[in-house]
Amino acid sequence: MSEINHSSQRYQNKPFAIKVRTGEDITKATNDAICGEVYLETGIAPSLYIGNKTSSEAETSIHRIADLTQKVGDVNLAHIGNVGDPSTSTSGKLYTETDPTLVTDKGFVFSFWFYDNGEPAAPGGQIFKSNHQNNYILQSTSASGSTGSLRFASWATLTEYDPDKVSVSGTSYTVKYQTKRLNNITHVTEESADGRGAQVSSYLNGELIGHAQTRFFIYPADILLGVGNASNISIGDVGFWKDDDTSGFIRSIERQVPAIYNNGQMSDWMQLAQAPWHYWKFGEFVGQDVPDEGTASTNHMILTGQAKQRTYSLDGADGTNYTFSGDAAGTDPTLNAVVTDTLTFTNNTGGHPLAISKTVNSKDMIFSGNPGSGITTDYIIKGGDITVSAWLKPQASTNSADTDTFHIFSDYTSGGNEGRLAFGGKLGKGWYATVNGPTQKQIWSYGSESTGTETIPIANMLDGNWHNLIVTVNGTIAKFFLDGSLAWEVDTVHGIAAGTLPVKIGKSWGDMYLFNGEINSISIWETNQDVGDNILDNIYRQGIPNDFAGTTYPDASFGVTKELDVINFIDPVLNAYDKSGVNIKYSTINQGDNEQILIEESSGTLVFNPNYGEHNYFCKAHPTTMRGVINVLPLMSSQKITGIVRT
């Protein structure tokens, strides 16, 4: 270890020192320790030590003062699982805590952080609950999966609210939030001004989102955490403050609530007027470890996983069957075959994303716009969040049918509610999409109806180049991206329900809305992919697979350059694609002030560890698909990684 300061004297011919040393290995200080010396062990598991005896050849006495594990700014998450039947099982329970004096009749404040990975959640998971009359303060709400919302129940009717973030139903309201990021909820209750009830103010990420006025008093009660039902969400840093006097404490806290969020980093509780009465700080890797019940060894730090791939087959009407499949590691399925007949698309195994890559006469899918063209898949929309990406090259035609609306991706059928998601366009007009069927909510029509936004004429897409369309549905929010840029965004109100009919490509059911042009690489994620700064942008910049003629890649001048901010789990996965279609030529990951890591001519699977700490980087390249993927995954929330990748 290195000495960084020193002050010593001798007493009765023995040395004493006030000295601080730093280094990553405390054992290197054992041979020459001086009584009174302080040692700061740095590195991935920092600790503070002191020597209470001067070393001799026979003996050393260095004692640990404290493990330095509670880092300022950390938000440590623990996971409430999503296992078992929530009506009968408690296997998703994280932790139960009661304190009979936690909630007082004067009110209280609680604040917590949570991370929803967007995966399906069991309905009715009770994250926080008062044991007085079973008032559910927070619970998961969706019967079909996580919808990015938390319900604040039994708080009576809102007197005012932000319609963009809060929906009201009876005596509860639901707050919408963004999945796959850390969010903070702070809830402030206080006795109402007239003394006849209670009122609550709720903040999402530091922003006031609603007031509720109750008809009943706040009764002294326990607060139960993660009780009974599963909820499939990660929570952390739960702090409670109670108003045990009337000295203006609550109002003082309320004024400071936005500071708790502090632009995405947790401020320290002590900046408030009073320390929390109750505080649960969950740590999966540091501090108190609170594992899921029954899975004590499992850490549930949320990382964005690699989606599994489906296996597909193309059944030609001439009897020829073509199969193509990906693998669990994320390799895209590919098919290189010359087929000349009408094809039916089927998938064999579950998982996502669904990727269709199909060649016809060594080219992409060509649709004539005439009756009979188009493809029938067996993919049925699952319901809930979804992302669909498609590359297409529309063509103008003298065929009178082309003046009608055409569908690129559609489970629409006429005369009913069967259609859940359909998008396409209309020549001379613009782009078109519906979510959840025309009778429930037609969110766009040629880019103008309902939304009032500008029309983007489809003629702009008739320039002979390939163009990318991405539709995302996140809860009730649907977005439409053209060539990587957001074109429209609208609240569908209903979200997207499970479909009943398979999706058609290049037309709708009933052989209607026929598309004239070329389509390639339709990808479906059964999750919302609009979760980071550049996720969708990356999808666009991946370009269409280069296994067919006429590929037009994005300009290489921007390549794939990205800075990761994985401390907030926004972009733990980075995809880099090579313009030349060979391999990743040069990639650099700059991990803070650590040394750079170079990857050159990657091929196959490459696992490497940097020479710093125990960070685990995973890099792999897929030369067969001419695509490279780099995943940079943090092991701990305290790790911060910045990365630059160029292809």
Partner 1 sequence: MQDINYSGNHLDDKEFRIKVSTGGDINNATGNAIVGEMFLETGASPAFYIAAGTSTMEDSFIYKIADITEI
Per CB under 8 A, the list member of 28, 36, 40, 258 interacting with partner 1 is 40
Q: Give whichever of 1 and 619 is closer to partner 1, judged by the CB atom.
A: 1
Residues 548 to 577 in contact with partner 1, rule: CB under 8 A:
567
Q: Taking the CB of residue 169, how many other CB atoms lie within 10 A of it?
A: 11
Contact between 72 and partner 1 per CB under 8 A: yes
Contact between 42 and partner 1 per CB under 8 A: yes
Evaluate the omega torsion of the peptide bond into residue 353 and state whether it is cis, within 30 degrees of 0. Answer: yes
| Cα within 13 Å of Cα(507), Cβ side | 21
Nearest distance in Å: CB 612, partner 1: 12
Q: How far, in whole angstroms, is CA 48 from its chain's centroid?
A: 36
Asked if 531 and 180 touch (Cβ cutoff 8 Å), the reply is: yes
Give every CB contact of residue 29 below 8 A, 6+ residues apart in sequence.
1, 21, 23, 37, 39, 49, 51, 62
Distance (Å, rounded) from C-alpha 359 to C-alpha 507?
A: 18
Distance (Å, rounded) from C-alpha 622 to C-alpha 535?
A: 20
Q: How many residues bind partner 1 (CB under 8 A)?
A: 34
Binding window for partner 1 (CB under 8 A); candidates: 64-72, 156-164, 306-314, 550-558: 64-72
Contact between 267 and partner 1 per CB under 8 A: yes
Contact between 644 and partner 1 per CB under 8 A: no
Distance (Å, rounded) from C-alpha 378 to C-alpha 380?
A: 6
Contact between 4 and partner 1 per CB under 8 A: yes
Contact between 373 and partner 1 per CB under 8 A: no
Nearest distance in Å: CB 138, partner 1: 26
Binding window for partner 1 (CB under 8 A); candidates: 56-64, 70-78, 177-185, 604-612: 70-78
Q: Give whichever of 271 and 336 is closer to partner 1, judged by the CB atom.
A: 271
State the virtual CA torsion across 551, 555, 558, 563 in degrees, nearest 10.
-20
Burial of 284 (0-12, 13-18, 19+ CB in 10 A): buried
Per CB under 8 A, the list member of 8, 70, 98, 609 interacting with partner 1 is 70
Contact between 247 and partner 1 per CB under 8 A: no
Nearest distance in Å: CB 246, partner 1: 18
Asked if 516 and 367 touch (Cβ cutoff 8 Å), the reply is: yes
Residues 251-279 as b/e (b if ≥16 CB within 10 A, e otherwise) read eebbeebbebbeebebbebeebebebbbe
Contact between 32 and partner 1 per CB under 8 A: no
402: left (phi over 0), alpha (psi -120 to 50) or beta: alpha
State the virtual CA torsion across 240, 246, 252, 255 in degrees, nearest 10.
90
Contact between 65 and partner 1 per CB under 8 A: yes
Contact between 66 and partner 1 per CB under 8 A: yes
Contact between 25 and partner 1 per CB under 8 A: no
SS3 label, residue 254: helix
Nearest distance in Å: CB 9, partner 1: 16
Per CB under 8 A, the list member of 14, 105, 251, 275 interacting with partner 1 is 275
Contact between 642 and partner 1 per CB under 8 A: yes
Contact between 594 and partner 1 per CB under 8 A: no
Binding window for partner 1 (CB under 8 A); candidates: 62-70, 96-104, 167-175, 213-221: 62-70
Residues 414 to 453 in contact with partner 1, rule: CB under 8 A:
none
543: left (phi over 0), alpha (psi -120 to 50) or beta: left
Contact between 208 and partner 1 per CB under 8 A: no
Q: Give whichever of 262 and 451 is closer to partner 1, judged by the CB atom.
A: 262
Contact between 252 and partner 1 per CB under 8 A: no
Per CB under 8 A, the list member of 211, 308, 363, 640 interacting with partner 1 is 640
Q: Tokens 């994303």 correspond to what residue?
A: 353
Distance (Å, rounded) from C-alpha 288 to C-alpha 295?
A: 16
Contact between 590 and partner 1 per CB under 8 A: no
Contact between 215 and partner 1 per CB under 8 A: no
Nearest distance in Å: CB 43, partner 1: 8
Nearest distance in Å: CB 79, partner 1: 24
Binding window for partner 1 (CB under 8 A); candidates: 41-49, 191-199, 297-305, 324-332: 41-49
Contact between 85 and partner 1 per CB under 8 A: no
* C-alpha to C-alpha distances, 371 to 379, 426, 504, nearest whole angstrom: 22, 17, 13
Per CB under 8 A, the list member of 35, 273, 337, 401 interacting with partner 1 is 273
Q: Give whichever of 48 and 168 is closer to partner 1, judged by the CB atom.
A: 48
Contact between 463 and partner 1 per CB under 8 A: no
SS3 label, residue 345: strand
Contact between 248 and partner 1 per CB under 8 A: no
Question: Of the candidates 439, 540, 552, which has an alpha carbon nearest to the alpha carbon of residue 481?
Answer: 540
| Cα within 13 Å of Cα(587), Cβ side | 30
Nearest distance in Å: CB 76, partner 1: 13
Contact between 68 and partner 1 per CB under 8 A: yes
What is the H or E stretch that residue 571 is in? none
Binding window for partner 1 (CB under 8 A); candidates: 232-240, 263-271, 392-400, 531-539: 263-271
| Cα within 13 Å of Cα(145), Cβ side | 20
Binding window for partner 1 (CB under 8 A); candidates: 67-75, 134-142, 293-301, 615-623: 67-75
Asked if 62 and 43 touch (Cβ cutoff 8 Å), the reply is: no
Q: Give whichever of 3 and 327 is closer to partner 1, judged by the CB atom.
A: 3
Distance (Å, rounded) from C-alpha 589 to C-alpha 359?
A: 36
Q: Give whichever of 458 and 567 is closer to partner 1, judged by the CB atom.
A: 567
Contact between 9 and partner 1 per CB under 8 A: no
Contact between 64 and partner 1 per CB under 8 A: no
Q: Give whichever of 552 and 590 is closer to partner 1, judged by the CB atom.
A: 590
| Cα within 13 Å of Cα(643), Cβ side | 30
Write out the residues near partner 1 by the rule CB under 8 A.
Answer: 2-5, 20, 22, 40-42, 46, 48, 65-66, 68-73, 262, 265, 267-271, 273-275, 567, 592-593, 640, 642
